[in-house]
């Protein structure tokens, strides 16, 4: 007796990586089952209305930005957009100053009146030359010197990562630019916008194809041997897939403390960083980000921690070496594709995950010439 597979693909994880692949594969005619252990789709980008009726991001603020026209065009199939340029202040020496560091940051911090040309000379005068840039500390002190490094970066990084910047790969602080003009936008990408009706609505549209079946509150291990399927796409932690065979890959986690206040506005911008004070790293106010009008406002405090859901791969050479061992195991799994931040142990932004998923779809299409069938005797 011969029967076809129930599903051509089983996708583990309904965040950006899994949902993009589910939508693309379903559109190409495949039957897709996507499972997630959480009670909702959207992964960490999931949003919802809190008890006050304010649209919040339970897993911290997710600000969409990209330089990729392909990624923006693809996501535009599932949502309209609201233009939004994120702005961040850092609480330093009793002032709230623009971050990334720009001309206004320097002038206000030191009581100066420098021009854009003069601030370049200022940075050059305080920078500490570094022969070979290896660490996050090297990146910052080599650009803006020790004092600005201590005021804006060292404390924040130590809270965020549980490590001194001198112990972290240069990529961590290299993500934050230094500006000589008054541009106070946190990002400078070509496309900066938020889904008009929220991320969850966008994911719902993405997964609405009749070829897609969604199972929530489900660990894939509970059903992987019970539901006939073809290729497996895995977006969870790669070390967990292999039962931590070589030990756990280090991640940083976050505790989110949400508050609602009886005021229309809590702070001056979407996010305020606290590099040197308090146990939390930042406070974000959602109404700036979503554009919602409401008489009350909701904020979230972020407390970095070592234990909990994995959010950030820790960029250190020894961790990269450990990942290579898991990567070798993953490459030896012809029936499994590993994609996404956790599965590839990379600190990707949302748009980078979408781009990776789109590229993965193309590779799967090129490789797959015929669908396998399940033969039952």
- Residue 221, domain member (yes or no): yes
- Residue 224, domain member (yes or no): yes
215 and 164 share one domain? no
The DSSP code sequence of 164-208 is: -GGGSBTHHHHTS---SS---BS---SEEEEETT-HHHHHHHHT-
The answer, yes or no, to whether residue 377 has pLDDT greater than 70, is no
User: Of the residues 150, 174, 198, which one is the last residue of a structural domain?
Assistant: 174
The whole domain housing 227 covers 2-41+207-249+314-375
Question: How does pLDDT run across 311-356, given as a tens digit for each residue?
Answer: 999 989 999 999 999 999 999 999 999 999 999 999 899 999 999 9
φ, ψ of residue 158 to 5 degrees: the values are -65, -40
214 and 356 share one domain? yes
Centre a 10 Å sphere on the Cβ of residue 59 and count the other Cβ atoms it contains: 19
- Residue 268, domain member (yes or no): no
Q: What does pTM read for this prediction?
A: 0.93
Cβ atoms of 188 and 100 closer than 8 Å = no
User: Of the residues 158, 174, 190, which one is the last residue of a structural domain?
Assistant: 174
DSSP state of 319: H
- Residue 50, domain member (yes or no): no
- Residue 321, domain member (yes or no): yes
230 and 320 share one domain? yes
16 and 161 share one domain? no
318 and 229 share one domain? yes
Question: How does pLDDT run across 127-168, given as a tens digit for each residue?
Answer: 999 989 999 999 999 999 999 999 999 999 999 999 999 999
Question: How does pLDDT run across 184-227, given as a tens digit for each residue?
Answer: 999 999 999 999 999 999 999 999 999 999 999 999 999 999 99
Which residues pair with residue 174 across a beta bridge? none
- Residue 215, domain member (yes or no): yes
- Residue 79, domain member (yes or no): no
Number of domains in the chain: 2
28 and 131 share one domain? no
User: Of the residues 151, 174, 197, which one is the last residue of a structural domain?
Assistant: 174
The answer, yes or no, to whether residue 370 has pLDDT greater than 50, is no
244 and 340 share one domain? yes
CATH, residue 359 = 3.40.50.720
The answer, yes or no, to whether residue 60 has pLDDT greater than 70, is yes
- Residue 110, domain member (yes or no): yes
């Amino acid at each position: 007796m011969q029967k076809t597979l129930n599903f051509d693909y089983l996708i583990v994880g309904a965040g950006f990586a899994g949902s993009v692949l589910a939508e693309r594969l379903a559109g190409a005619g495949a039957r897709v089952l996507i499972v997630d252990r959480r009670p909702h789709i959207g992964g960490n980008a999931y949003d919802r209305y809190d008890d006050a009726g304010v649209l919040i991001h339970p897993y911290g603020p997710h600000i969409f930005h990209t330089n990729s026209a392909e990624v923006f065009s693809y996501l535009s199939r599932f949502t309209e957009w609201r233009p939004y340029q994120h702005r961040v202040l850092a609480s330093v020496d009793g002032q709230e100053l623009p971050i990334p560091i720009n001309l206004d940051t320097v002038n206000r911090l030191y009581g100066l009146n420098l021009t854009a040309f003069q601030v370049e000379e200022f940075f050059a005068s305080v920078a500490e030359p570094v022969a070979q840039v290896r660490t996050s500390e090297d990146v910052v002190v080599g650009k803006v010197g020790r004092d600005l490094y201590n005021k804006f970066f060292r404390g924040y990084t130590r809270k965020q990562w549980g490590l001194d910047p001198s112990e972290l790969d240069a990529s961590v602080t290299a993500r934050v630019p230094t500006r000589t003009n008054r541009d106070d936008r946190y990002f400078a990408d070509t496309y900066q916008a938020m889904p008009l009706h929220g991320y969850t609505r966008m994911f719902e549209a993405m997964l609405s194809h009749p070829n897609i079946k969604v199972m929530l509150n489900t660990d894939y291990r509970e059903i992987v041997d019970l539901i006939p399927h073809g290729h497996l796409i895995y977006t969870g932690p790669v070390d967990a897939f292999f039962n931590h065979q070589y030990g756990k890959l280090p991640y940083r986690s976050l505790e989110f403390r949400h508050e609602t206040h009886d005021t229309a506005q809590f702070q001056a911008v979407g996010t305020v960083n606290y590099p040197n004070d308090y146990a939390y790293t930042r406070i974000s106010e959602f109404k700036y980000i979503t554009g919602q009008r409401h008489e009350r406002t909701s904020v979230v405090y972020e407390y970095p921690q070592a234990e909990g859901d994995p959010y950030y791969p820790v960029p250190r050479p020894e961790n990269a070496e450990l990942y290579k061992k898991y990567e070798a195991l993953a490459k030896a799994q012809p029936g499994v594709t590993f994609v996404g931040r956790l599965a590839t142990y990379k600190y990707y932004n949302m748009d980078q995950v979408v781009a990776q998923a789109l590229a993965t779809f193309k590779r799967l299409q090129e490789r797959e010439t015929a669908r396998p069938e399940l033969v039952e005797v």
